[in-house]
């Protein structure tokens, strides 16, 4: 495979680079579009409420000044002072102390996880400068932690999924031992066995929902928030957005306070890890969609350039022989535009041009076909002994979450690649 | 290399797994320790200020109630109402509207980047529910964007660094062409050429500091913040912590407002991308330190188990022949504990045991030695034509930031691995 890729790169060395740049620009454009749409929708949803709140506050202020005959300027000064006091964590209804040890611990937790609720912020210059250096190391360490967690959870899911498949096969009475020996020669098929990104996404999604719902039940009873508010808080905290409009465990007293504080920390830790993994898995799916869009655009451009007659339609969803055998069946649409596209471009250019445009519908169909193929391959490869699979799964020392790319591309980080 | 690893894995298949788990637990323990230390320091720095602020607010409130003979209960009610109004983004000194289009755009920007200042938050139930689904896709897309940015920036740095080396060699008058032909047989040395993680960290660090300082100059002049406050804001925003105690571009009017808003967005975008990359590079260095600590611990445990007489001291910092030739020279301390440690453990166990404990000092020395070796190898390999290097650098379709691990371990994401 490496040879093939190298040969392709010799022919057009800058093709993968262009591909990467195109994907990057496409994503940037789509995110900008997403932001514009989001801004329009949120503006429509929230603007009326803002106006009402502004009116309400004006009335309340008027009432107060009229009733107590207070100078409005003096009241404004007091409110400004209150804002300043708010910054130091002071409220009318006493909150837990900000900077005792447990408060400071909660604070540093929100720093290194980059949640940053902002219910507590350093007010002294020394504190602010220290925060910069503290956060630099802390956030980097936490990113590593999240990535190692991601690695652990995917390894675990892979084990569980293989175990399930093995058990299912054993129950079905398939000759496991014989087929294992038979297929032990097929090193490639073993190498190809990896858990499906869709299953992993599903499992992580379910886990996230379960954690968020459990946490919401706790919060809504302890904090007297509505269930929707609690769910909203969970998402904002777990995704590390951390607005700070709702913050858990801020009152001075709770029933069974220590247990609640511990449970709060645990839920936030689990939630953040889970949602981080989910985000990363979703981002893979987004990347594939981008690749598919790019592939479609490229084919359309080429077709415009050299118009050719259509051929057999089924060609479009047919997986490409050996090269893509163990990847998604939608390879021709998705995986071709991976970075080794340059390598394949020369070989398959005729083939690609002969294929018809693939609509989203057909893409979905081809995806379903590929899932069926996948199932077959899973059942073919799942009953290979776990021994070899270990060496496969843990053999990639390079790939640790966000580190993957750097492990591949930087010195000192890659051992034998 | 793959064969060697596989062979090792057959002997003790669970070793890399244990290694990974040990690293994960070690990191979790160290982060907990880091949090405890941070909490103690922040508590010591900030607690006195909190007490002073509390006292000050009490005095201000007393003064007001005495002077205007206001019922304290009524004033508390007003302040609670003001808190609520604050939640809707209302302040005494008029801020820019929260939910007009530009305000909503700023808001969604803080959502998808997970900065979450919280200066604007959805107050309606519909807004909160929509936020959950909007953020789920948006944050995942932004993570992908950051990872693709990371990939682009590292590829770019690799090009620049190779170009610099080539130019230096050409200026020095070394026979580039002849040595290129000579070494073209050494495929391994070419494969080994990657930019140093330390250089990349340095460059990203400098870039981050430059961006933060430029942005701070802008903010301190536009927002009337002190320079330290501006730097603090930059770090908090760029690292996506986003406390929200300081938020840029919130006043109703600025000089040349449109330009400032655009500059603000641009600085935040550049800063976030840069600091994200920096965090990831630092996290690699942390990972290597963890590996080194684990290796040291393991050796100490083994020495305790089978005590052997000490041998020649120099043995400890001597790089291991061919296997680790193109990685960091501190291979015996660092890279051995990578996931292929299981493979090497059997081969080198005698050697390792014969080596003496390596102190941090010696580790640094060996690192310097290795950097010298590295320089030599860089100069040997840098003047290989760019053609083959392209195929190397872009050949790893698997490694895209946080996606690296999943590209290695999940189906549908890897093309030919």
- A332-353, pLDDT tens digit by residue? 333 333 333 333 333 333 333 3
**Least confident interval from A307-321, A369-383, B155-169:** A369-383
In this structure, what DSSP letter does residue B121 have?
-
Q: Report the distance separating Cα B75 and Cα B64, nearest Å.
A: 10
- What pLDDT is stored for residue B52 in this prediction? 93
Total count of residues recorded for chain A: 417
In terms of CA atoms, which chain B residue is nearest residue A235? B132
Token code pair at residue B89? 């983004």
**pLDDT for residue A187 is more than 90:** no
Return per-residue pLDDT of chain B as tens, 417 residues.
333 333 333 334 456 678 888 899 999 999 999 999 999 999 999 999 999 999 999 999 999 988 888 888 889 999 999 998 988 888 888 888 899 999 999 999 999 999 999 999 999 999 999 999 999 999 999 999 999 999 888 888 888 888 887 888 888 875 544 444 444 433 333 344 567 888 889 999 999 999 999 999 999 999 999 999 999 999 999 999 999 999 999 988 898 899 999 999 999 999 999 999 999 999 989 999 999 999 999 999 999 987 655 444 443 333 333 333 333 333 333 333 333 333 333 333 333 333 333 333 443 443 443 344 334 433 333 333 333 333 333 322 333 345 455 555 555 543 333
| Mean pLDDT value of segment A119-125 | 92
Report the range of poorest mean pLDDT among A29-33, A400-404, B213-217. A400-404
A-interface mutation test, from B149, B413, B417, most A Cβ less than 10 A away: B413
Best residue in A24, A27, A35, A377 to probe B by mutation, most B CBs within 10 Å?
A35
Residue A110 touches partner B, C-beta closer than 8 Å:
yes
Nearest in space to B330 (alpha carbons), one of A401, A140, A141, A411? A411
**Which are the contacts of B338, defined by CB distance < 8 A and separation ≥ 6?**
A397, A415, B291
Band of the pLDDT at A400, cuts 50, 70, 90?
very low
Tokens in use for A40?
């329009």
Q: What is the pLDDT of residues A211-266, one digit of tens each?
A: 999 999 999 999 999 999 999 999 999 999 999 999 999 988 898 899 999 999 99
* Distance between CA atoms of residues A171 and A165, nearest Å: 10
* Nearest-Cα residue of chain A relative to residue B277: A402
**Contact between B3 and A81 (Cβ < 8 Å):** no
Q: Are B124 and A49 in contact (CB under 8 A)?
A: yes
Nearest CB neighbour to B235, from listed A80, A135, A326 = A135
**pLDDT at res. B214:** 96
Of the pLDDT bands very low, low, confident and very high (cuts 50, 70, 90), residue A182 is very low
In this prediction, residue A183 has a pLDDT band, given cuts at 50, 70 and 90, of very low
Beta-bridge partner residues of B95: B251
Distance separating alpha carbons of residues B336 and B333, to the nearest angstrom: 6
Q: How far is Cα B215 from Cα B192, in angstroms, rounded to an integer?
A: 38
- What is the predicted pLDDT for the residue at A381? 35
Q: Residues 3 to 32 of A: which have CB under 8 A from any B CB?
A: 5-6, 9-10, 13-14, 16-17, 20-21, 23-24, 27-28, 30-31
Single out the residue of A347, A317, A345 nearest to residue A332, CA to CA: A317
Percent of chain A with pLDDT strictly greater than 70:
65
What values do phi and psi take at B298, rounded to 5?
-60, -45
What is the model's pTM?
0.74
Nearest CA in chain B to A54: B90
- Give the model's pLDDT for residue A404: 58
- Strands, E, within B229-328: which ranges? none
The residues with which B409 forms a beta bridge, in sequence order, are none
Contact B310, B356 (CB under 8 A): yes
Give the sign of the dihedral formed by CA A253, CA A256, CA A258, CA A263.
negative
Contact predicate B222/B253, CB 8 Å: no
B170 bridge partner residues: none
Give the Cα separation of A243 and B108 in Å (integer).
12
Helix pair angle (B197-222, B227-238), 10° resolution = 130
A176 has pLDDT over 50: no
Q: How confident is the model at residue B411, as a pLDDT? A: 53
Are B283 and A242 a contacting pair at CB < 8 A? no
Q: How far apart are CA A126 and CA A122, in angstroms?
A: 9
Exposure pattern of A294-317 as b/e (b: 16+ CB <10 Å)? bbbebbeeeeeeeeeeeeeeeebb
User: From B70, which residue of chain A is nearest by alpha-carbon distance?
Assistant: A68
Q: What is the pLDDT of residues A56-83, one digit of tens each?
A: 999 999 999 888 888 888 899 999 999 9
Contacts of B55 (CB under 8 A, 6+ apart): none
DSSP 3-state of A397: coil
pLDDT value, residue A122: 94
Residue reference for tokens 């030695």: B369
Tokens 């980080």 -> residue: A413
Q: Determine whether the interchain pair B396/A402 forms a contact, defined as Cβ–Cβ distance below 8 Å.
A: no
Which of A327, A236, A297 has its CA nearest to residue B139? A236
User: What is the ipTM score, two decimals?
Assistant: 0.74
Asked if A212 contacts A234 with a C-beta cutoff of 8 angstroms, the reply is yes
* A305: its two tokens: 């350039």
């Amino acid at each position: 495979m490496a040879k093939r890729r190298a040969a392709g790169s010799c022919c057009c060395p800058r093709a993968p680079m262009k591909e990467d740049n195109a994907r990057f620009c496409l994503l940037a454009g789509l995110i900008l579009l997403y932001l514009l749409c989001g801004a329009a929708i949120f503006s429509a949803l929230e603007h009326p409420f803002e106006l009402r709140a502004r009116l309400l506050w004006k009335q309340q202020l008027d009432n107060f000044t009229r009733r107590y005959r207070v100078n409005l300027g003096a009241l404004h000064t007091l409110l400004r002072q209150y804002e300043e006091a708010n910054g130091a964590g002071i409220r009318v209804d006493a909150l837990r102390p900000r900077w005792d040890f447990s408060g400071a611990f909660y604070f540093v937790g929100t720093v290194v996880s980059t949640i940053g609720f902002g219910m507590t912020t350093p007010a002294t210059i020394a504190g602010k400068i220290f925060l910069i250096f503290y956060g630099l190391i802390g956030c980097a360490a936490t990113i590593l932690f999240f990535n190692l967690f991601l690695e652990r959870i995917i390894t675990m899911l892979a084990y569980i999924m293989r175990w399930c498949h093995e058990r299912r096969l054993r129950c079905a009475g398939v000759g496991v031992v014989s087929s294992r020996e038979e297929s032990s020669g097929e090193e490639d098929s073993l190498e190809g066995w990896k858990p499906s990104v869709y299953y992993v996404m599903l499992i992580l999604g379910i886990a996230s929902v379960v954690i968020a719902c459990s946490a919401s039940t706790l919060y809504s009873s302890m904090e007297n928030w509505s269930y929707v508010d609690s769910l909203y808080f969970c998402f904002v905290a777990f995704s590390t957005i951390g607005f700070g409009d709702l913050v858990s465990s801020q009152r001075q007293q709770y029933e069974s306070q220590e247990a609640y504080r511990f449970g709060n920390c645990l839920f936030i830790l689990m939630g953040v890890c889970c949602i981080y993994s989910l985000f990363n898995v979703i981002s893979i799916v987004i990347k594939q969609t981008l690749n598919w869009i790019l592939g479609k655009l490229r084919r359309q451009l080429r077709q415009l350039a050299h118009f050719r007659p259509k051929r057999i339609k089924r060609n479009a969803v047919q997986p490409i022989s050996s090269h893509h055998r163990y990847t998604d069946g939608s390879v021709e649409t998705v995986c071709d535009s991976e970075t080794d596209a340059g390598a394949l471009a020369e070989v398959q250019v005729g083939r690609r041009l002969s294929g018809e445009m693939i609509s989203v519908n057909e893409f979905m169909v081809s995806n379903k076909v590929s899932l069926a193929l996948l199932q077959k391959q899973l059942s073919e490869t799942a009953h290979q002994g776990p021994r070899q699979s270990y060496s496969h799964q843990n053999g990639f020392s390079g790939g640790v979450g966000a580190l993957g790319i750097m492990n591949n591309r930087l010195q000192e980080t890659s051992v034998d690649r």
